[in-house]
């Protein structure tokens, strides 16, 4: 997701490393600890403001039209007919517990800039307003773009309802035609998947009792055994426009429409590897691929040449893996906080981490030394996140309860994921759209409140971040227990007060959680600033009897030994004590 003013920054093309934003992890019902389906998402952009979008359910008269604006730039595009009724949407999840996330992978530049009205962001939020299930959303996305055209770059969509989780990958037709080509695959129940700005669907079944093409959407909606559906022309379009030469059964969506290179592996798929490595065995086999050090091809990929199976890497990661243990919502939150800890690329261990092991690098990510190109890592957790979330869709929820979008602003490693119920009709002030902006500070906006803490933590990470982690544990574990217990509590409310009573109580709960969190986080920043300012660590001392004044205990933490050694390697004898 990029939203207004982020068109340039979300897809950054450096001389060596392509750095895209956003990370999605997908958890099926059978793979989750409580039977929920879950998707996670980080909207990463240096100019994206973190706020919780809301679309109120509404009714429209016959003939009503909907104005469309490009999600990235705000440019007016035109109108399409409105439907008679739209659903309540909170963030990227609606009242029916349908959730949609995305990552932009770009793909072949010749397929960018198509004509039409539909961009990726508009597709997401229109689908959330109009659809109840993942299958309805897939159909809606395909039909809207077929009718009105598609103008964005290549996108991977995560689409989940209470029963199923799908990945749908799309790319436009550029100057070659209207609309887009696409493939959608259901993640097998019990498995997990992920995507992070590199197209992930490779070969896919073309025939079989569980496979359909876009001409059979009616069957797709009624036959729940279908686990793959694709645009009827997804292969013929590539062949007709000299993008692929070979057998249909060898066709790989990702390798034809978004060929992976060093940056696609190292800057993108490595984030998926990091999550897979936490939940599944055998991921060491994909380390050389994920780091971009060895992308095995029978023949080199040549930009602008039609692709064949010989150009496709043979060591790419699987689209999904079977987790060793069930994944909890707290696991999902922590997946979003990864800095490649436990690997040789751990962001806290090299000199760039500074004397207090800060696992972040300021942009640009690529640099050159003595004519050799290098890059910093693009990890899942990153400082420029506008907002991130984990959705939780559960079929056991009672009517009116909706699902939960666990929402946080700023850096995922420093945020707290707050439970927002998707039936709520009023967004808490701290998350509300229009409360501040990227260039307008607001004392009541969670985005600015959390940025104060995280940016201060970057200055003395070893000391400050553990205190942040303690508060994350406190809030998230408390809320997870409370929301799990609500299913019983709200059954009683539903029986006595009906659906409206449940909605009222849930909205009060979400608003109270967000308001109290932000008030506490303000006080937390004041506490941290007092304790750690000027490079000191101060703690309160008991006032000695008979003293009018007394000072706190003050410690001055040393730099790490590695950092002292690096200073001397650079300065020689200049700082030597004689």
Name the residue with tokens 């701290």. 430
DSSP assignment of 357-409, as one string? T----PSP-EEEETTEEEE----SS-TTEEEEEEEEE-TTPPTT---EEEEEE
| Cβ atoms 3, 44 nearer than 8 A | no
Nearest to 243 by CA among 303, 295, 331: 303
Please count the other Cβ atoms lying within 10 Å of the Cβ belonging to residue 400: 21
- Identify any residues that bridge with 406 across adjacent strands, giving them in sequence order: 390, 419
- pTM value is 0.95
- Identify any residues that bridge with 32 across adjacent strands, giving them in sequence order: 327
Please count the other Cβ atoms lying within 10 Å of the Cβ belonging to residue 177: 17
Q: Which residues contact residue 578 at a Cβ distance below 8 angstroms, ignoring those fewer than 6 apart?
A: none
- Identify any residues that bridge with 54 across adjacent strands, giving them in sequence order: 90
| Cβ atoms 378, 268 nearer than 8 A | yes
pLDDT digits (tens), the chain, 578 positions: 544 333 323 333 333 334 457 999 999 999 999 999 999 999 999 989 999 999 999 999 999 999 999 988 889 999 999 999 999 999 999 999 999 999 999 999 999 988 899 999 999 999 999 999 999 999 999 999 999 999 999 999 999 999 999 999 999 999 999 999 999 999 999 999 999 999 999 999 999 999 999 999 999 999 999 999 999 999 999 999 999 999 999 999 999 999 999 999 999 999 999 999 999 999 999 999 999 999 999 999 999 999 999 999 999 999 999 999 999 999 999 999 999 999 999 999 999 999 999 999 999 999 999 999 999 999 999 999 999 999 999 999 988 899 999 999 999 999 999 999 999 999 999 999 999 999 999 999 999 999 999 999 999 999 999 999 999 999 999 999 999 998 888 888 888 999 999 999 999 999 999 999 999 999 999 999 999 999 999 998 887 888 877 789 999 999 989 999 999 999 999 999 99
Nearest to 11 by CA among 266, 2, 366, 196: 2
Nearest to 354 by CA among 568, 567, 575: 567
Question: Residue 455: which H helix or E strand, with range?
Answer: helix 446-457
Taking the C-alpha atoms of residue 381 and residue 369, their distance in angstroms, rounded to an integer, is: 26
Sequence length of the chain is: 578
| Cβ atoms 292, 262 nearer than 8 A | yes
Helix axes 446-457 and 461-532, enclosed angle (nearest 10): 110
Nearest to 537 by CA among 486, 485, 463, 442: 463
CB-based burial label for 374 (10 Å; 0-12, 13-18, 19+): exposed
Taking the C-alpha atoms of residue 43 and residue 2, their distance in angstroms, rounded to an integer, is: 7
Question: Residue 495: which H helix or E strand, with range?
Answer: helix 461-532
Q: In what order do the strands lie in the sheet with 23-27?
A: 320-321, 192-195, 23-27, 37-44, 385-393, 404-409, 418-421
Q: Which residues contact residue 473 at a Cβ distance below 8 angstroms, ignoring those fewer than 6 apart?
A: none
Taking the C-alpha atoms of residue 352 and residue 562, their distance in angstroms, rounded to an integer, is: 11
| Cβ atoms 454, 528 nearer than 8 A | no
| 132 secondary structure, DSSP code | S
What backbone phi and psi angles, to 5 degrees, belong to 404? -120, 130
Taking the C-alpha atoms of residue 103 and residue 23, their distance in angstroms, rounded to an integer, is: 6
The shares of helix, strand and coil residues in the chain, as percent rounded to the nearest 5, are 35, 20, 45
| Cβ atoms 140, 127 nearer than 8 A | yes
């Amino acid at each position: 997701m990029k939203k207004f003013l982020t068109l340039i920054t979300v897809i950054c093309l450096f001389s060596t490393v392509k750095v895209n934003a956003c990370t999605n992890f997908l958890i099926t019902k059978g793979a989750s600890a409580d039977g929920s389906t879950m998707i996670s998402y980080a909207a990463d952009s240096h100019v994206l403001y973190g706020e919780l979008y809301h679309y109120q359910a509404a009714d429209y008269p016959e003939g009503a039209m909907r104005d469309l604006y490009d999600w990235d730039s705000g440019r007016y595009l035109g109108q399409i007919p409105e439907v008679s009724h739209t659903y309540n949407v909170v963030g990227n999840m609606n009242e029916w517990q349908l959730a949609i996330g995305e990552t932009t992978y770009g793909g072949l530049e010749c397929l960018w800039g198509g004509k039409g009205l539909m961009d990726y962001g508009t597709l997401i939020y229109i689908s959330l307003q109009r659809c109840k299930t993942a299958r309805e959303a897939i159909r809606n996305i395909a039909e809207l773009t077929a009718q009105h055209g598609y103008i964005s770059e290549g996108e991977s969509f995560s689409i989940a309802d209470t029963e199923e989780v799908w990945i749908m990958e799309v790319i436009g037709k550029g100057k070659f035609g209207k609309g887009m080509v696409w493939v959608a695959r259901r993640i097998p129940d019990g498995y997990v998947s992920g995507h992070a700005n590199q197209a992930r669907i490779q070969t896919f079944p073309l025939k079989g009792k569980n496979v359909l093409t876009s001409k059979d959407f009616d069957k797709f909606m009624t036959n729940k055994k279908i686990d793959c559906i694709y645009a009827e022309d997804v292969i013929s379009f590539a062949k007709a426009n000299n993008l692929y030469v070979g057998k249909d059964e060898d066709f790989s969506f990702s390798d034809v429409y978004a060929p992976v290179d060093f940056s696609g592996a190292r800057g993108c798929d490595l984030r998926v590897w990091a999550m897979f490595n936490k939940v599944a065995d055998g991921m060491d086999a994909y380390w050389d691929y994920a780091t971009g050090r060895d992308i095995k091809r029978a023949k080199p990929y040549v930009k602008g040449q039609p692709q064949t199976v010989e150009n496709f890497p043979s060591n790419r990661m699987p689209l999904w893996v079977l987790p060793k243990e069930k994944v909890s919502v707290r696991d999902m939150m922590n997946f979003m906080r990864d800095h490649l800890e436990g690997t040789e690329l751990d962001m806290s261990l090299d000199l760039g981490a500074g004397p207090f092991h800060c696992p972040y690098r300021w942009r640009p990510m690529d640099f050159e030394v003595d004519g050799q190109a290098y890059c910093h890592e693009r990890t899942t957790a990153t400082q420029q996140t506008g907002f991130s979330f984990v959705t939780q869709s559960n079929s056991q929820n009672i009517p009116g309860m909706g699902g939960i979008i666990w929402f946080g602003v700023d850096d995922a490693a420093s945020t707290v994921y707050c439970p927002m119920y998707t039936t709520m009709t009023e967004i808490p002030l701290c998350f509300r759209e229009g409360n501040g902006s990227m260039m307008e500070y607001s004392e009541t906006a969670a985005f600015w409140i959390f940025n104060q803490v995280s940016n201060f933590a970057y200055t003395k990470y070893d000391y400050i971040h553990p205190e942040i982690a303690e508060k994350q544990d406190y809030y998230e574990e408390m809320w997870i227990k409370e929301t799990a217990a609500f299913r019983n509590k709200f059954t009683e409310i539903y029986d006595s007060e009906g659906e409206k009573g449940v909605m009222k109580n849930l909205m009060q709960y979400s608003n109270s959680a967000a308001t109290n969190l932000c008030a506490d986080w303000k006080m937390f920043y004041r506490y941290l600033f007092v304790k750690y300012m000027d490079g000191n660590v101060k703690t309160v001392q008991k006032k000695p009897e008979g003293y009018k004044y007394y000072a706190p205990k003050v410690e001055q933490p040393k730099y790490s030994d590695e950092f002292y050694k690096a200073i001397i390697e650079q300065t020689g004898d200049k700082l030597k004590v004689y």
